Structure 1
Amino acid sequence: MTTIQINAMIMGQSYTLACQEGEQAALHHAVAYLDQKMRAIRDAGRIKGTDRIAVMAGLGIAAELLSMQRAEGPFAGLTIAQWQQQIAAITEVVDQALAPQEKLF
């Protein structure tokens, strides 16, 4: 597989990141999500310093992931690849359901 480099902005700071070919969109989504979380923490005004903000955002995201993996969580026992498969299957069902509706417009 080919490694691709992308430029990303997180809280106004430019980063060059690497990912596998075909994974650019997922990495851009992850960057946007992290940027959103970090900006929310910064804007709350309680924590100063980008490094501390990054740690708090990382902890928040880790807590979200762990809560989803709990035995009673909606994604209990699933790997990231299995989540992606589930999301792709749901997207396909939605697309199929919406296709006849598009003809009406």
Structure 2
Amino acid sequence: MSTSDSQPVSIKILDKDFSFNCPADAEAELLASADFLNEKMLEIRKSGKVLGLERIAVMAALNLAHELLQSKQSLNSDVETRLRHLGSKIDLALQKKTQE
């Protein structure tokens, strides 16, 4: 990607400004991601159990990674269940076909 394809985007997380270069077509996603991260970090800061921006950021990253892994595991489980169900349907259809 050339530098002409990207543009600077400013975001604010826990009252700190950050600037990133991102592709023009990804700006909305970056801003939405920054808002989501900011909300998670604010929740952690409000709990009062974690102090310091760096520790709050690490805790938010760990929480989000955990949620992502759980979501992937759930999705994989759903796919496996559907595949087993389809396999059973195929087996039934083949049994009926061989009985004809």
**4+ residue stretches of structure 1 with deviation over 4 A?**
none
The answer to whether structure 1 residue 14 and structure 2 residue 9 are counterparts is no
TM-score, normalised by the number of residues in structure 1:
0.67
Tell me which amino acid in the other structure corresponds to 1:68.
S
Give structure 1 stretches of 5+ with no counterpart.
78-105
CA-atom RMSD in angstroms: 1.4
Give the drift of 1:4.
1.5
The Cα offsets for residues 44-101 of structure 1, whole Å up to 9 and x where unpaired, read as 001100000000000001011111111xx13x39xxxxxxxxxxxxxxxxxxxxxxxx
Identity %: 31
Which has the higher Rg, Structure 1 or Structure 2?
2
TM-score, normalised by the number of residues in structure 2:
0.70
Q: How many residues align?
A: 74
Query: Matches of 1:28 and 1:52 in 2, distance apart?
Result: 22
Q: Which has the higher contact order (CA 8 A, sep 6+)?
A: 2
Bigger helix fraction: 2
Give structure 2 stretches of 5+ with no counterpart.
78-100
